[in-house]
Amino acid sequence: MALAVASLTACNKKDPMKNSNAMVDSLKQIQFETEQFADIQVLKYDIPGWEKLTLKEKKLVYYLAQAGYSGRDIFWDQNYRYNLKIRAALENIYTKYEGDKASTDWKNFEIYLKRVWFSNGIHHHYSNDKIKPDFPQTYLQKLLRETKTNLDASIVEILFNDVDAKKVNLNEAKGLIQGSAVNFYGKGLNAKDVEAFYGNMTSEDSLRPLSTGLNSKLVRTESGNIEERIWRSGGMYGAAIDKIIYWLEKAVKVAENKPQAEALNILIEYYKTGDLKKWDDYNVAWVKAIEGNIDYINGFIEVYNDPLGHKGSYESTVQIKDFDMSAKMEVISHSAQWFEDNAPLMPQHKKKNVVGVSYKTVIVAAESGDTSPATPIGVNLPNADWIRAEHGSKSISLGNIIDAYNKSGGSDKLKEFAFDEQEVMLSERYSELADKLHTALHEVIGHASGQLNPGVGTPKETLKSYASTLEEGRADLVALYYVYDKKIQDLGLVDDWKNLGMTAYNDYIRNGLMTQLVRIEPGRDIEEAHMRNRQWVSAWVFEKGKEFNVIEKIERDGKTYFKINDYDRLRDLFGQLLRETQRIKSEGDYEAAKQLVENYGVKVDQKLHKEVLERNKQFNLAPYRGFVNPVLVPVTNDSGEIIDVVITYPKTFAEQMLYYSKNYNFLPLEN
């Protein structure tokens, strides 16, 4: 791929009209073949409609994509302090080893490296557990010697022992910081230190609190003081951030309109200064920049990887508006106030004026950091509650990602875990649309719904380690409550709201109580925020509905099924739980949050888990899927001006990962 790009530029300089067309055509023929290893399947996604974009729009996508890739190594370093050293060593071995590549140990080394690539580090992207090599330590030491690769002996030991075993630990007994390997806090700090440090920070405007701690690493200095190392130009990660700024400045020059350019300029200022007030200013400007066909996400955003919910992981997504689906789904955002008014929340927790919820289905063109290779299917930003309340939010559904997932799936697993043919028939007919509607309602209505009581701190302050899973569960409950509502048919979104809603309920309960367990190792608790929320939502309504047999647990031929007997009562239970979850958030009720999550969302029924894993063995389906990115190749003329941007693909997952490491390695191995 790198050679192809270099050849294209060289050909253009010699005789662009004669040679570039042939090279462009050859690039378009390169396709990625699906790869599967360990518990992972790597797919590709298409960018439909690319040829319809103007040259200016293609340039904007290209510059934003380059900005995103430039920050890739920030996420690697955030995930673990030794990740960049480990990756450099493993890649050096991979490219230079000339020994026996038919051996089992070498094949397992290749799988290990691919797993590390996929997870952006040595901890599993979903479970947060350290990925253990399936080859002996002595074999790695042999590879290091034979390829003359340097890696500290102490780091080699860590790869094989139980040190730093969990990237994000949510078990308070082990210490939320001490038990987490994530690289957001320096040695010697604990949760009380962090809470005291940020507790002493007061925002000038208490109604519009800054996202304190979002863009920094907290360390204890030699003198014993605690201070922040800010992620900015001239600060921590400055070399990569300078490259991000370089490409963002190019993007400004081809922005589609003035609001888009203004938002980009404020983002550049934020990266230059690290000023969190600038981050808020940027988010307000970004929310208001709703015109145009191209949009993006770039920054330190989601806090799931911080056990205390302060630090934002670096991520970037570049997207193109899907005109057809956006027009169909925009009606949800236009009805946001109706959904809020009719929600089963306490009156004081409802927003009187839901502001500016914009919704689009988009075509993803590039992803980096926390969104790649594993990617979300829907996003609602910004995360600051006060900005959502005063200025609104942007909700997007990643249409081509959802389509790629759907094309790679199968019905055999559905038939194995669904209770009967009726349930299978409903899912085959309605699941795809039900998933899209659930995602839209979750992002547009769910995250935008509800408000905090006056004087209550932000969820990261009040709900602490339970804030993320409570927020995701709350948004899920909003979606579940309304996906089984005639309103969605009145809006013209479906032709049979009842069957679609029944399908959504069947799929959610089946997944929340059973099928998502294929992602958990035997004997383990559930740690990931989204998995926790799906289980605590499902387990709570299952328990509370026992009196009326709302959901029935049935054993048949040695297999367990969950059959919904009363969809109307189940909707009412979802509404009751939504009301309580919103109360917890609005009042900052930490103890209630802890009881809800710990009692229903963490522990796994070991007998059922064993059964699910056994039943799942028959399917050649990886529980986790992700994507390689399309490669955007600029075509230039004799003057070096971009005259087109062509889409191609890497031939293999390894090719893309090595290309990224070679071309976007702006950080030192130790930061």
Cβ contacts of residue 20 below 8 Å, gap of 6+? 8, 11, 12, 635
CA distance 320 to 360: 10
419 has a pLDDT exceeding 50: yes
Whether the pTM exceeds 0.75: the reply is yes
Tokens 């009720």 map to which residue? Answer: 589
214, 310 Cβ separation under 8 angstroms = yes
Cβ-defined contacts of 609-614 (< 8 Å, 24+): 609/517, 609/520, 609/522, 610/522, 611/559, 611/560, 612/417, 612/514, 612/515, 612/517, 612/518, 613/517, 613/518, 613/522
Segment 444-458 mean pLDDT: 93
pLDDT tens per residue, range 139-168: 999 999 999 999 999 999 999 999 999 999
Segment 181-191 mean pLDDT: 96
Quickly list DSSP for 100-137: -SSSHHHHHHHHHHHHHHHHTSSB-TTT-BBPPPSS-H
CA distance 384 to 210: 8
pLDDT tens per residue, range 502-520: 999 999 999 999 999 998 9
Angle between helices 238-253 and 72-79 (to 10 degrees): 150
Tokens 């020994």 map to which residue? Answer: 99
CA distance 263 to 391: 14
Amino acid at 218: L
Rg (CA), the chain: 25
* DSSP E strands, 613-652: 624-628, 631-636, 642-648
CA distance 388 to 382: 7
Cβ contacts of residue 477 below 8 Å, gap of 6+? 446, 537, 574, 575, 577, 578, 581
Query: What pLDDT, on a 0 to 100 scale, did the predictor assign at position 317?
Result: 98
CA distance 324 to 46: 16
pLDDT tens per residue, range 553-607: 999 999 999 999 999 999 999 999 999 999 999 999 999 999 999 999 999 999 9
pLDDT tens per residue, range 300-342: 999 999 999 999 999 999 999 987 777 777 889 899 999 999 9
Q: What residues form DSSP beta bridges with 369?
A: 315
pLDDT tens per residue, range 515-553: 999 989 899 999 899 999 999 999 999 999 999 999 999
Torsion region of 274: left, alpha or beta (phi above 0 gives left; psi -120 to 50 gives alpha)? left
641 has a pLDDT exceeding 60: yes
Query: What pLDDT, on a 0 to 100 scale, did the predictor assign at position 410?
Result: 67
Tokens 């004087």 map to which residue? Answer: 455
666, 239 Cβ separation under 8 angstroms = yes
Q: What residues form DSSP beta bridges with 633?
A: 646
Query: What pLDDT, on a 0 to 100 scale, did the predictor assign at position 20?
Result: 64
Q: What residues form DSSP beta bridges with 551?
A: 564
Query: What pLDDT, on a 0 to 100 scale, did the predictor assign at position 409?
Result: 64
Amino acid at 365: A
Torsion region of 549: left, alpha or beta (phi above 0 gives left; psi -120 to 50 gives alpha)? left
> DSSP class of residue 147?
T
Query: What pLDDT, on a 0 to 100 scale, did the predictor assign at position 16?
Result: 46
Buried-exposed string 339-363: b where 16+ CB fall within 10 A, e elsewhere: bbeebbbeeebbbeebbbbbbbbbb
CA distance 159 to 131: 8
Chain center to CA of 311: 15
- Residue 468 vs residues 91, 189, 216, 340, 596: alpha-carbon distances, Å: 34, 22, 19, 21, 13
Quickly list DSSP for 385-418: HHHHHHH-EEEEEEHHHHHHHHHH--SHHHHHHS
Indicate the average pLDDT of the chain: 93
Quickly list DSSP for 275-343: -HHHHHHHHHHHHH---SSEEEEEEE---TTSTTS-PPPEEEEEEEE-HHHHHHHHHHHHTHHHHHHTS
Query: What pLDDT, on a 0 to 100 scale, did the predictor assign at position 6?
Result: 42
pLDDT tens per residue, range 14-50: 454 455 677 777 777 888 989 999 999 999 999 999 9
